[in-house]
Amino acid sequence: MEVVLSWITGLDKHLVDDLFEDRWILQAVLRATSSLAKQYTMRLAFVTSVMASDEIHGWLHEDGDEETHRLAMAQLCALRLLVRPTGDTVETTSAGDVQGDLKFNPNPQQQLQDSLLRLVSAPQPVTDQSQTALPTEMDLEAYGRIRWENVLRSMIGQGPLTDQWQTRTPTWVPQCLVLEELMEADGFRLTSDGFQFLLDDPPRQLWQLMIGFVRLKNEQREVLSLLCKLSFMVPGLSYQMAELTEFQQGTLKNDLSKCGMVYVPEGGVCFYPTPLGIALSGSIGFSGKQDAAKATVILERNFRVYLHADTRRDIQVPLLSLFARIEYILPNLCAALLTRKSIFTAVTHGIDVEAIIKFLADRAHPCIRNAAGQACLPHNVCKQLRHWAAERDRLTYQECVCIDGFKTVDDFLRAENTARGLGGCLWANQEKLVLVVAEDIAPQVLQGC
């Protein structure tokens, strides 16, 4: 949800107020705020008068964390949950503090009060399930996993899986990937952010794609409301399609079902949210126990990586090839080697080395985990990966102009002083009368020679 919060804070204040008129968007956003921000929100839920920022600061304990308070206030103000008495957005000081009089934004405050007083009901599942063939929770997980993996496979040029749930990637997915700058429109190649996107957690991946989907639509509030409402549902239960607007019903059938977020049986009377769709809330992981058993990693001190998975269909294999050299692939095992070249190539393409280490740690085999279940990756390997990644930053490149052929030393010194005065002298050798300056100041230096 941090992707959604970041997107909302960058919108115009009128658009933010319009979004928060929907109770599902408001509840999802509040659930994603920090713990202290939630406490402040609950205390102010029924306060309609203007309050001084110092009064809110007084709620903090004497031994309270000032930085936590500062971040909570900044978050509430950036989301326009707290505004000025005039309705203007609150701007923080250079130190990140919030000062002056504040009040709770009336529109989200009314929605919050209705939710707390139970004047609105949560999504209610269908109790009468008289259909003969109901999808099981494992079916829904496989449905969401395979369709989502098809989206990821399309980004790295892999074909879709051959399966009962196999379907073509929706046409709006490439548009969203380009809009979010994950793919280049020319040639449809991965950008540096796109490489990083592939190694992110599924909830963050999903929200980043969905934000692009929301931006494509004119009815942004209805689409975002549907996504947020979906995050409050329970996987495996069915919900009435009639409870949604006509536009949301079409979005559910034609768009969200094709990327595995919901399953809509024939007839379209009800729909089933999948674990992938529920992962929008961030509270439930998309990868279940079955996936964890299929995709586990053993990392050895000699930089060898063994990925235990169904290599014919698991998306983890092509993801591993983004930063490791694949040596051989068996039906249930992929062996790879972490090398300086493979890490350098990955970092050049925009993959952060910490994301690589996290990828390996999240999929660590039980044999390389401690009693608390934490991954214990070899220290020498992690240290060397960071060292290889840092090698790329040892040199910096800058466009420059090399000036030589000076007739006298005085001409050379005059040009050197001019370049240093402009802050663009990169290298000078008085013996050889050679001067290297930044490209943008080269005309001024040459003019003064």
Q: What is the pLDDT of residues 253-290, one digit of tens each?
A: 888 888 888 888 877 788 888 888 887 766 544 444 34
The tokens of 329 are what?
């692939």
Residue ranges, CATH 3.30.70.2610, the chain: 400-448
Higher per-residue pLDDT: 293 or 334: 334
Q: In this model, does residue 125 exceed pLDDT 90?
A: no
Position 298 scores a pLDDT of 94
Q: Which residue has the higher pLDDT, 26 or 281?
A: 26
82-86, 94-98, 353-357, 438-442: least confidently modelled range: 94-98
4/213 Cα distance (integer angstroms): 12
Res. 181: pLDDT tops 70: yes
- Does the structure show a pLDDT above 80 at 294? no
Confidence tier at 161 by pLDDT (50, 70, 90)? low
Of 82-96, 157-171, 295-309, the range with the lowest mean pLDDT is 157-171
For 346-399, what is each residue's pLDDT tens digit? 888 888 899 899 889 988 999 999 888 889 999 999 999 999 998 877 777 788
- pLDDT, position 162: 56
- For 149-158, 160-169, 254-263, 435-444, which range has the lowest pLDDT when averaged over its residues? 160-169
Q: Which of 90-99, 217-226, 240-249, 334-343 has the lowest mean pLDDT?
A: 90-99
Mean pLDDT of 131-149: 78
Residues whose CB is less than 8 angstroms from the CB of residue 56 and which lie 6 or more positions away in sequence, other chains included: 40, 73, 102
Query: Which regions of the chain carry the CATH code 1.10.10?
Result: 2-116
Calculate mean pLDDT across residues 421-430: 88
pLDDT at 94: 67
Cα separation, 20 vs 305, in Å, equals 47
Alpha-carbon radius of gyration of the chain: 28
Output the pLDDT for position 288: 41
- Whether 249 contacts 226, CB under 8 Å: no
Q: Are strands 239-240 and 101-104 parallel, antiparallel or unpaired?
A: unpaired
Confidence class for position 293, pLDDT limits 50, 70, 90: very low
Topology (CATH) of 2-116 = Arc Repressor Mutant, subunit A (1.10.10)
Whether CATH 1.10.3470.10 fits 400-448: no
The confidence score (pLDDT) of residue 115 equals: 81
